Structure 1
Amino acid sequence: MPIVAVLFAAVLFAGAPRYGYHRDELYFLAAGRHLSWGYPDQPPLTPLIAKAMAAIDPDSLFILRLPAVLAATLVVVCAGLMAREFGGGRGAQALAAATVASAAVVMGTGHVLSTAVFDLAAWSVVSLMVLKLIRGAPDEADRLAESGSIRPKAWWLSGPRWWLVIGVVIGAGLQNKLLLIFPVLALLVSMLVFGPRKLFATKFFPMAIGIAVLLWLPYLVWQARNGWPQWEMSQAIAGGSSGTSDSPIMFVLLQFGLIGPLLVPLWAFGLWRLARDSRYRAFAVAYGVLFVLFVATGGKAYYLGGMYPILLAAGAVPFAAWLGQRRMRWAAVSFVVTVNMISSAVLFLPVLPISMLKDSPVLAINYDAGETIGWPEFTREVGEARARLGGDVAILTANYGEAGAIERFGAPYNLPKPHSGHNSYWWWGPPSDTATEVLAVGIDRDELVRAFTDVEPAGRIDNTRGIDNDEQGAPLFICRNLRAPWSELWPHAKHLG
């Protein structure tokens, strides 16, 4: 298992500096420069990490993505450890780790700094801790230890004390992404209904709840003070506002691709095994509950990704036992996992040269690949358009990716701080009322004429690579003569998605 984790990390490290920043990474860097206890679309942990990495080297994409690589590697390690908790030996642990390492969702989220990869890591750790609780369910020694009569070896992490670790991880995870609350509640309810309920008969369970709530509380306070924009954001995503939003049918179909089609039999076998074992049935029920919930509410396909490491670990243990010492069987399984890993890497890591992307199926399958290409060229074109105007021209963008790119790459072109009505940028305020002209980037003319009396075309964005991403062909407009002060117009510029 350690070898698998090291090789996986090495592959991600090798690909980290290739292509360029993802739009979300540019946004996290901008949010890190406006540190707060909350944002309309996310808690503060990932922007804080982005700020910390930028403090080490503001120009290094490799450094920025280092925490994501470590988090994804943690998911791989947890898969192997979960197989051990299921009673698997080294072969089962290596198989579980390798299958998770080859998964498209783990590679894809581990390649860029994102809330998704830390969410995967948090849920993997929680799943592992719950397995430890189940495997070491309270016995007489635990009860004596809890009462203070005895102190077993490693007493601070023995028996029910794993609840304390779970509380810390959930609290920290909720400061990264609200999504974690759904698998947590699904599993807790499933355990209360299907068992093992005796795990809750300890003082450490309410203590864990208290720790998690205490860690999460600052973000909840921020949301309450700002009208709960996260709820509006969730509705926008469910309505398809995100580039990775999925229809119910696509949500179902993409479950077969999150890990890779070749490994569907293994995780399906793991799901069946969990459902048949009363000790672990709650995990299978939680998977079913989350599946139905996310289909019904318009969730993205990867929202269910955190459940697959435990399914693969559960399936790997009896499968490895069946493989036994037969080398031909192991060779065949290794070949399948290797093929899955290569296909995932080609589709979700920056393996192909950029010149080959437009003629490959990568962009059609992996939307995020296109969003890591062309940001320096985008900023250069914005800079050239503004250079033809006066020095007091403000910049207004359609989305946070465009604004974040201008902040990151705009210095050589003397570009000012951009403004946008998108997500947190709306909270950071409008252009100055003294700006006589505005260069609008990526915003439709029909929207601009509601705010300006004079709107003139100023060109279109071309990334020069032929990559059909969200910014390719985006319009540029020169806008003059505001119809009202920004203080009146800015509330109408707000849009979440």
Structure 2
Amino acid sequence: MTTARAARDEASPGRAERGAAPLGRAAREGAPGAESSVTRPAVAWRPVGAAVLALVVVLTVTSARYGYHRDELYFRMLEPAWGYVDQPPLTPLLVQAISGVVDEAWAIRVPATLCAAATVVVVALLARELGGGAGAQTLAAWGYAFAVLPLAFGHLMLTSAIDQLVWPAVLLFAVRALQRDDDRWWVPAGVVAGLATSNKLLVGVLVAGLLLGLAVLGPRRHLRSRGLLVGAAVAAVLALPAIVYQAANGFPQLAMGAALGESNAGDVRLDMWWFLLVMLGPLLVPVWVAGLVALLRRPAWRPSRCVAVAFAVVVAFTFAAGSQPYYPVGVVGALFAAGSVPVWEWATRAGRSRRALVVGGVLANAAVAVVVSLPALPEERLAETPVPAMNGTVGDQVGWPRYVEQVAAVYEGAVEDGAAAPAIIATNYGEAGAIARFGPDLGLPAPYSGHNALSGAAPPEDADVVVVVGEQVELARRVFDSCEVRARLDNDVDVDNEEQGVPVAVCAGRSSSWAEIWPLFAHLD
């Protein structure tokens, strides 16, 4: 990353801020908050664009390595719908649409790459909105582009890939509304937040945090502004399909959240604290912490203090819900953008040594993040490294074709002449998705699973023999006269993931009808 020009621009305000506009209608009009005015430097498109291009190249080059993630396999096999018991429809619909044209992992990851690239621009614009010149914008763009979770979410087509863009975008528009004292920016914030509900309802926590921050720390006049009211109305209208789906189906998201909390809460409430330190990378923690402190202490940033409250609300929600420790990453990205301003100011106050320290920290963090977050290592060497333990998504991309081959071998042995073909029951949606993707070429039928949105379809009543994959073999023993384990899944590279070593059994002699026993196989997690 070259920062020489950025440093020169930062040291020469006339050069860096050519075309800059005064920030804050209140400052021009002498209204309350005039003392909080800052200036907006020009957008540093060259270094920011270079960061975006480098990120797109890295994500594209690595997108075909390893294999599908379990969630990608799950999304691929779902039927198009207005919603599912575990999530809104946007990400599954995108995966289904792309896989219908090009059924490869690299193809369905293109939207994730685009979202990651757009997020880098948003983060840089956030730094600029708070007065960051070319140097601060360069730090924000390059630091965030090659941070740990941004790389991981840019590589995989998960719901988090879209959320990673949505949350900083909402915060960018909110900060523009506040720093410029221009309530019209609340409308695009409402548009983004409303559309985001088609991907994940969690954006409501961010919005609630911002509103609470305005109520507690101000500027409270925005709570009564026409722009915020219009933005809220637009968000509500755009969120209506998700709300209607939830209401019509008994609010399954509440049940899903409770199930995640029941299985994860203990670990999440401990892990989330160190996760805050590693989600961008330990070397970048001082930057986003500096952003949090500056939001609370800098007079010029007083209008945007509600972002700090939103961060606290999201962290508190993550602890209370106990669902997933990565929920705060979108707000941390905004804090990183804010922190890039004071950190770069500090770096340019004492010659080259501090700049070298900052640039070196970003490069070192990026080097580690690439190895941890992306399929940079040979698959056969993964088990020799701590990477699978550090990043669970890595293990979830390994072994699926081999696992399905092993299931196919058991299935072939279970087929009897003159009898109905066995049904296949997969314990989780990763196993089911892998069989749905790779099984047809091996002669396997469509699988059944009781996991999340797949539980609605039970095996046919004439399926008296089943091949059960995974931990539900023990459950099958309770409802079948016999269950014989014929194999244990092995990815052949010794990577310890959720499927490694689980049994594949042939079960026969069902004790009652599928209508009676299938609910036993249904589970949310």
Length-normalised TM-score, structure 2: 0.87
Q: Distance in 2 between matches of 1:72 and 1:162?
A: 23
Corresponding residue for residue 269 of structure 1? 290
1:170 aligns with 2:214: no
Equivalent positions of 1:356-395 (< 5 A) are 356-390=381-415, 392-395=421-424
Is 2:151 the partner of 1:107? yes
- 1-side partners of 2:489 and 2:342: how far apart? 55
1:121 equivalenced with 2:150 (yes/no): no
Distance 1:299 1:480 in 2: 37
The farther-off stretch of 218-227 and 372-381 is 218-227
Identify the match of residue 489 of structure 2 among 458, 461, 476.
Answer: 461
Counterparts of residues 341-490 of structure 1 (less than 5 Å): 341-390=366-415, 392-427=421-456, 429-490=457-518
Tell me if 1:332 matches 2:361: no
Q: Does 1:87 align with 2:131?
A: yes
Distance apart, 1:414 and its partner CA: 1.3
1:314 and 2:338 are equivalent in the alignment: yes
Q: Contact 2:489–2:499 (CA<8 Å) still a contact in 1?
A: yes
Q: Which moved more, 1:94-103 or 1:205-214?
A: 205-214
Q: Which is further off, 202-211 or 414-423?
A: 202-211
CA distance in 2, matches of 1:492, 1:164: 47
**Distance in 2 separating the partners of 1:289 and 1:162:** 22
Distance 2:366 2:82 in 1: 38
How far apart in 2 are the matches of 1:13 and 1:240?
35
Provide the rounded CA distance (Å) in 2 between the counterparts of 1:392 and 1:21: 28
2:91–2:199 Cα contact (<8 Å) kept? yes
Residue aligned with 2:380, SS: helix
Quote the Cα distance in structure 2 between the aligned partners of 1:348 and 1:257: 11
Cα distance, 1:291 vs. partner? 1.8
List aligned pairs for 1:284-299, cutoff 5 A.
284-299=308-323
SS at match of 1:18: coil
**2:56 aligned partner, one-letter code:** A
CA distance in 1, matches of 2:124, 2:313: 25
Q: Secondary structure at the match of 2:107?
A: helix
Structure 1 CA distance for aligned equivalents of residues 227 and 412 of structure 2: 62
Q: Which residue of 1 aligns with 2:142?
A: 98
Does the aligned pair in 2 maintain the 1:246–1:301 contact within 8 Å?
Answer: no
Structure 1 partner of 2:40: none
State how far apart, in whole Å, the 2-side matches of 1:220 and 1:312 are.
32
Q: How much has 1:133 moved relative to structure 2?
A: 0.5
Any idea what the Cα deviations from partners look like across 1:47-100, whole Å, max 9, x if unmatched? 111122113312x22111000011112221111000110011111111111121
CA drift at 1:241: 5.0
Q: 1:459 to 1:364 in 2, by over 3 A?
A: same
Stretches of structure 2 lacking an aligned partner (at least 5 in a row): 1-47
What residue in structure 2 maps to residue 39 of structure 1?
Answer: 84
In the alignment, what sits opposite 1:238? 261
Instruction: Give 1:424 shift.
Output: 0.6
Q: Residue 191 of structure 1 corresponds to which residue in structure 2?
A: 214
Shift of 1:164: 2.1
Q: Following TM superposition, where does structure 1 have runs of at least 4 consecutive aligned residues deviating by more than 4 angstroms?
A: none
Question: What is the number of equivalent residue pairs in this alignment?
Answer: 470
Cα distance in 1 for partners of 2:345, 2:149 equals 27
| Partner residue, 1:64 | 108
Instruction: Check the 8 A contact 1:290/1:304 in 2, yes or no.
Output: yes
1:73 corresponds in structure 2 to: 117
Further displaced range: 255-264 or 385-394: 385-394
1:258 maps to what in 2?
A: 279
**In the TM superposition, what whole-angstrom CA distance separates every residue of 1:341-390 from its partner, at most 9, and x where no partner exists?**
01011011100111111010101111110110000001111111111122
Alpha-carbon separation, structure 1, partners of 2:345 and 2:90 = 41
1:149-164 matches, within 5 Å, as 159-164=182-187
Deviation readout 1:287-346 (Å, 9 max, x if unpaired): 122222322331422111111122111111122223338344323211110000010110
2:136 aligned counterpart, secondary structure: helix
Q: CA RMSD in A?
A: 1.6
Percent identity of the aligned residues? 38
CA–CA separation in structure 2 for the residues paired with 1:94 and 1:456? 60
Is the Cα contact below 8 Å between 1:275 and 1:285 reproduced in 2?
A: no
Q: CA deviation at 1:407?
A: 0.6
SS in structure 1 at match of 2:202: helix
Cα distance between partner residues in 1 of 2:242 and 2:481: 41
For structure 1, list consecutive stretches of 5 or more residues without a partner in the other structure.
138-158
Query: Who is 1:220 aligned against?
Result: 243
CA distances 1:104-133 after superposition (whole Å, capped 9, x unpaired): 111111110000121111001001101111
Higher mean alpha-carbon deviation, 109-118 vs 450-459, is at 450-459
Is 1:279 matched with 2:282? no
**Cα distance in 1 between the residues matched to 2:472 and 2:163:** 35
| Distance across 2 between alignment mates of 1:263 and 1:205 | 33
- Bigger shift: 284-293 or 252-261? 284-293
Distance in 1 of aligned mates of 2:87 and 2:268: 23
Q: Is the 8 A contact 2:296 2:308 kept in 1?
A: yes
Could you tell me how far 1:14 is from its partner in structure 2? Answer: 1.2
Deviations 1:147-195, CA, capped at 9 Å, x for gaps: xxxxxxxxxxxx3332221122111111101221111111111112211
**Contact kept in structure 2, 1:444 and 1:475, CA below 8 Å:** no
Higher mean C-alpha displacement, 185-194 vs 339-348: 185-194
TM-score w.r.t. structure 1 length?
A: 0.91
Alpha carbons of 1:356 and 1:448: their partners in 2 closer, same or farther (altered >3 Å)? same
Query: d(CA) in 2 for partners of 1:206 and 1:485?
Result: 55
Query: Aligned-pair distance for 1:208?
Result: 1.9
Deviation at 1:489, TM superposition (A): 1.6
- Counterpart contact for 2:484–2:505, Cα < 8 Å: yes
Alpha-carbon distance in 2 for matches of 1:10, 1:435: 49
Q: How many Å separate the matches in 2 of 1:189 and 1:282?
A: 7
Query: Would you say the 8 A contact 2:264–2:323 is kept in 1?
Result: no
Per the alignment, residue 182 of structure 1 pairs with 205
SS in 2 for 1:92: helix
Pick aligned residue for 1:303 from 327, 330, 335: 327
Task: Report the counterpart of residue 143 of structure 1 in structure 2.
Answer: none
